[in-house]
Amino acid sequence: MDSVNPGARLNRRQVVARLLEDRGNLAVVTGLGSSTYDVASCGDHDNNFYLWGAMGGAAMLGYGIATAQPARPVVVFTGDGEMVMGLGSLATIGLRPCVNLTLVVIDNGQFGETGQQTSHTGYGLSLVEIASTCGFDWCREITDMSAVESLLERIHTNEGMTFATVKVNTEELERVLPPRDGALISTRFRTSIGY
């Protein structure tokens, strides 16, 4: 099977930085690897939960936080490889929906942490279609900054579950490492969100 031409692609750091501007009380969960570096590049924050070493678990962690704190907007930043690994989480979340969860898949069509092999989305798998089938209320593929603005508005509305695949370019960017101490991350996050 040949990989799909990715077409227009955004700069991942610009997208994440825009989505985290004026974040207010937003709780942020990051998946393994580049999505963590992208969020950390915007500055460390007590409301960031960096999920080191638990590939495939970001969506479910974000869902747990969203259901425990239904008035707080929660956004999960993860990659296409991790989201494919955790596809079952979309079905589980869809069975017991919440109104304050946004999943943002930073999709470069590659497995960035293992050597840039073509991922499922690089071969044409539509995570947006899967999320829609699983019951997410607002599902979009984002390919330009005007669509990023629509996603930003959606993150803070608490009007249903949101899923976006953001098509980004494949350039390798400098790793910006946040704290890696799991106890520190967990404790300060729980203290910050009052849980």
Neighbours of 125 (CB within 10 A): 18
Q: What is the CATH number of the domain that holds 175?
A: 3.40.50.970
Q: What is the mean pLDDT of residues 1-21?
A: 78
For Cα atoms 69, 70, 72, give the angle at the middle one, nearest 5 degrees. Answer: 70
Which residue in 128, 123, 61 sits closest to 89, CA to CA?
Answer: 61
Which residue in 99, 107, 101 sits closest to 141, CA to CA?
Answer: 107
Q: Is the dihedral of CA 109, 153, 149, 192 positive or negative?
A: negative
* Residue 151 DSSP one-character state: H
Of all residues in the chain, the percent with pLDDT exceeding 90 is 71
pLDDT digits (tens, 9 = 90+) for 155-171: 998 899 999 999 998 88
Residue numbers of the domain that contains 45: 12-193
Q: What is the dihedral of CA 107, 108, 113, 117, to 10 degrees?
A: 120
**pLDDT at res. 190:** 94
- Is the pLDDT at 6 greater than 80? The verdict is no
pLDDT digits (tens, 9 = 90+) for 70-121: 999 999 999 998 899 899 999 999 999 999 999 999 998 876 666 567 787 7
Q: Is residue 94 part of a domain?
A: yes
Q: Please count the structural domains in the chain.
A: 1
The contacts of residue 195 (CB under 8 Å, 6+ apart) are 68, 69
Q: Supply the mean pLDDT for the chain.
A: 90
Confidence band for 124, pLDDT divided at 50, 70 and 90: confident
Q: Is residue 160 part of a domain?
A: yes
Q: Is residue 30 part of a domain?
A: yes
- Is the pLDDT at 1 greater than 50? The verdict is no
d(CA 121, CA 84): 9
Lowest mean pLDDT among 98-102, 144-148, 172-176: 172-176
* Residue 121 DSSP one-character state: G
Of all residues in the chain, the percent with pLDDT exceeding 70 is 92
Q: What is the mean pLDDT of residues 40-61?
A: 92
- Is the pLDDT at 47 greater than 70? The verdict is yes
Confidence band for 2, pLDDT divided at 50, 70 and 90: very low
Q: Is residue 4 part of a domain?
A: no
Neighbours of 105 (CB within 10 A): 29
| CA-to-CA separations, 12 to 16, 19, 102, in angstroms, rounded | 6, 11, 17
* Residue 117 DSSP one-character state: E
Q: Is residue 44 part of a domain?
A: yes
Q: Is residue 57 part of a domain?
A: yes
Q: What is the mean pLDDT of residues 10-34?
A: 95
Which residue did the predictor score with more confidence, 59 or 115? 59
Q: Is residue 150 part of a domain?
A: yes
Q: Is residue 7 part of a domain?
A: no
How many secondary structure helices (H) and strands (E) does the chain include?
Answer: 8, 8
**pLDDT at res. 170:** 85
**pLDDT at res. 109:** 81
d(CA 24, CA 12): 21
